Amino acid sequence: MISGAELLNIAIKSARTAGTIINKRINTPKRVSYKGIVDLVTDVDTLCEKTIIQVINRRFPSHSILAEELGSVPGKSDYRWIIDPIDGTTNFYHSYPFVSVSIALEHKGIVIVGVVYDPLKKELFYATKGRGAFLNDKRLHVSSVNTIEDALLSTGFPYDIRTSSENNLDNWIKFIRRAQAIRRDGSAALDLCYVAAGRFDGFWEMKLKPWDVAAGSLIIGEAGGTVTDFHGNKYSIYTDHIVAANPHIHHVLLDVLAHKDT
């Protein structure tokens, strides 16, 4: 039986290894290709992902992988690592210092380990299911803000914002009229961790992938937050929309999204 501590340690080791690469390359030229009109990938994304997988495979060669660039790699065990080598690639490409490495471990469909590392600020967010959430060894808890009028929220926009009517702009308008303020920083993994740390009071976003949210959603839950889909249903990382907030205002975010706001 593999211990939770060992699994967490490998997640942290691989995140830090990728973080070292990001730190060295944040202010250097990058080679870039495009998966969509505004959906880009750099050579550093690919290098970081390869490095993370090498660290994991050296210790757990039978585990499967789901990674943003490589895709799904089947294994022979019930464990699957879910990897976003650079969450905030556009930020990274422009040397905007809001990027993270996100690594989660799923066991039989349940996320049991989550690590999000901001190598530029040296902030390591992590959680093991049932054992709480931490930032650099300090226990995390969501905020106690109890009205949306006092809340600082965060969100993001999908890559097909130019072509799809489901682009989150309508929700942005509704929330900006209700909340104290909204931020759009470009890394969903870090946004989720900021909710867990009480820096943000709530977060919503649509058209996300499992590697964007697997680690962060566990960290929020372990920090006392509430995570659901837009309809208040139990959250799955394979659902492409998410609402995460402290328990005092989570239901208000759901109401606003459901057009029940006044």
Exactly one of 86, 112, 219, 249 is catalytic; name it: 86
Please write down the HEC assignment for all residues of 82-93.
EEEEEECHHHHH
Query: Is there a catalytic annotation at residue 123?
Result: no
Per the listing, tokens 């039989």 go with: 108
Query: Is there a catalytic annotation at residue 68?
Result: yes
Strands (E), 108-196: 110-118, 123-128, 133-135, 138-139, 152-154, 181-183
Query: Is there a catalytic annotation at residue 212?
Result: yes
Exactly one of 68, 106, 118, 205 is catalytic; name it: 68
Exactly one of 26, 52, 56, 84 is catalytic; name it: 84
Query: Is there a catalytic annotation at residue 148?
Result: no
Exactly one of 42, 89, 155, 228 is catalytic; name it: 89
Residue 199 one-letter amino acid = R
**Among 178, 149, 193, 168, which Cα is nearest to 260's?**
178
Beta pairing partners, 73: 65
Q: Give the burial class of 36: count Cβ atoms within 10 A of its Cβ; 0-12 exposed, 13-18 middle, 19 or more buried.
A: exposed
Query: Is there a catalytic annotation at residue 21?
Result: no
Query: Is there a catalytic annotation at residue 201?
Result: no
Exactly one of 45, 87, 205, 222 is catalytic; name it: 87
The set of catalytic residues is 68, 84, 86-87, 89, 212
